[in-house]
Amino acid sequence: MPNQQDVQPMSADGSRVPVIAVTGHLGAGKTSLLNHLLRAPGARVGVVVNDFGTLNVDAAFVSGQIDEAAAISGGCLCCLPDAGGLDDALERLSQPRLRLDAIIVEASGAAEPIALSRLIRFSGAERVRPGGLIEVIDAVEYFRTVDTHPDPPVRFAAATLLVIGKTDLLPLAERGRIIERIRGRVRVRNPLAPIVVARRGGVDPMLVFDTARREDPTDQLPIAELLREAGYDHAHDHVHAASVMAPGPVAPRTLIDLLESPPDGAYRVKGRVRVRGPKVERGYLVNVVGGMIHIAPLPEPPAAGELVAIGLDLDEAAAARRLAEVVAAAAEHPDAVGLRRLARYRRLSE
């Protein structure tokens, strides 16, 4: 697994801030998951929620301090007229001066994941990009009502990551069987998205967003540290990661092949790379989350780039070999076909 230096965030260059939606029915455990992520050391996280009342964080304490927060009232996010409330919140939180690693939108229990995903994808806020949609499943309630709903809900299909929560409340003798049954029903709608069995909302933050460092930043009020000291169970299954340096230009065709078909078990792929164009080399920031590809130009080509793959079931050695193959496949001459494929994703990312 790479050291912390290998997985540094790449938002300091002014790139777009990832927006992660957290969805699930009322009482599923969305707030527990959010509170867990807010305690990640070294992360700057903005939050958009319908109601701060259920958070274990004082809204006034958060707002204007380390991670600026925006509260939306008036109901379900996806039902706000013209999505203005959400766009305004994202515009506010994506201001470069905040230097946020991520923005998390905790939707109301009535929110429709597919509609919310579209709102984020086509947001009028210019400095954000989709960062994934996490669907939280209440294992107890879902198992209790599963026989009344023979078909799995369509909402599972919208998720890039699914979290099964409250499994500690299931009968011990039945727990394994129930979890596997839920997994099977999820797979009917969503064959590829990772499924995490979480304890008290415990999901490794590195799976969800970049963390800046192992310690909290020195120039901000240490809310994460204060919340951790208040007593919190950090337990979660740690993710695996693989990284390689990219000292020279990479072939655009091989790069796009990687983004379209990441290493087995990779939920996220990110990197800074140089690509040889018709006249000059150009720098790009690339991100993949659950199959969503985002490519943005860098102001200047990086002196030394890198590629990183992150996932729960990632084979680190195999992933590192795949990344190394991309780095090794440097094109001696501009690759017109590869450059057209890269340009297409650039346009789609705008």
pTM for the structure as a whole: 0.82
Question: Cα 281 from chain centroid?
Answer: 29
Say whether pLDDT at 23 is over 70: yes
Question: Across all residues in the chain, what is the average pLDDT?
Answer: 81
Tokens of 16: 């777009």
Q: How high is the pLDDT of residue 263?
A: 96
Say whether pLDDT at 235 is over 90: no
Check if the beta carbon of residue 10 is closer than 8 Å to that of residue 285.
yes
Count of positions (residues) in the chain: 350
Rounded to whole angstroms, what are the CA distances from 121 to 7, 100, 136, 289, 346? 25, 18, 20, 13, 14
Say whether pLDDT at 185 is over 70: yes
Q: Which residue has the higher pLDDT, 109 or 88?
A: 88
Q: How high is the pLDDT of residue 169?
A: 87
Say whether pLDDT at 323 is over 60: yes
Domain boundaries, the chain: 4-229, 240-349
Give the end-to-end CA distance of the chain in Å, rounded to a whole number. Answer: 32
Q: What is the mean pLDDT of residues 233-248?
A: 81
Q: How high is the pLDDT of residue 71?
A: 67
| Residue 160 pLDDT grade (very low, low, confident, very high; cuts 50, 70, 90) | very high
CATH of domain 240-349: 3.30.1220.10
Q: How high is the pLDDT of residue 107?
A: 83
**Three-state SS for 177?**
helix
Please state whether 107 falls in left (phi above 0), alpha (psi between -120 and 50) or beta: beta
Place of tokens 């102001």: 299
Q: How high is the pLDDT of residue 170?
A: 86
Say whether pLDDT at 187 is over 60: yes
CATH architecture designation of domain 4-229:
3-Layer(aba) Sandwich (3.40)
| Residue 40 pLDDT grade (very low, low, confident, very high; cuts 50, 70, 90) | confident
Task: Classify each residue of 275-308 as buried b or exposed e, where b means 16 or more C-beta atoms within 10 Å of its C-beta.
Answer: bbeeeeebbbbbbbbbebbbbbebeebbeebbbb
- Cα separation, 169 vs 188, in Å, equals 25
